[in-house]
Amino acid sequence: MNNQRIWAPWRAEYILDESKNDSCVFCKVTNSTNNDDNKRLLVLKRGSFSFVIMNKYPYNPGHLMVVPYKHATYFDDLSSEIISEMIQLKIRSINALRNAMNPEGFNIGINIGQAAGAGVKDHLHIHIVPRWNGDTNFMPVLSSSRVISEALNVTYDKLFNEFRSIQ
């Protein structure tokens, strides 16, 4: 077998973070200030009831999430005002991704509960994953690995500028 290495140095921060199981990662962002919304937290836009954040461990470059500030497992736990803003931020996210990254399609999804694949199972959120023709390859099949072709901070800068220019 060939000893090839795939480098993903940003994952060490997650692996070594002893506080990752202490509380909800989205509630930590909810309780932070706008001053923390830089590349460390990867928050792109804050609304009145929800926010847009980049996924630190993306499925594809530009993988975003729309998250309500309220810790809720189901949509029934959210007001129509919160849900409406989440949908508006989803649309804004798609527009920002289209302008910054020119994807050829999107996967948009919500995983409710651990059995459905939710990584953060008790804090509802919407995934927005840009897709390109040919963006899948043999890596997930052979080694359960994804190849992300752009550094998070580069993608953050592109999208941050787009979120500021889209009204």
104: helix, coil or strand?
Answer: coil
Closest CA to 50 of 20, 35, 72, 24: 72
CB 155 within 8 A of CB 61: yes
The 3-class SS string of 27-85 reads HHHHCCCHHHCCCCCCEEEECCCEEEEECCCCCCCCCEEEEECCCCCCHHHCCHHHHHH
In the block, residue with structure tokens 């830089």? 38
Name the catalytic one among 63, 71, 123, 125: 125
125 is catalytic: yes
Active site residues: 125
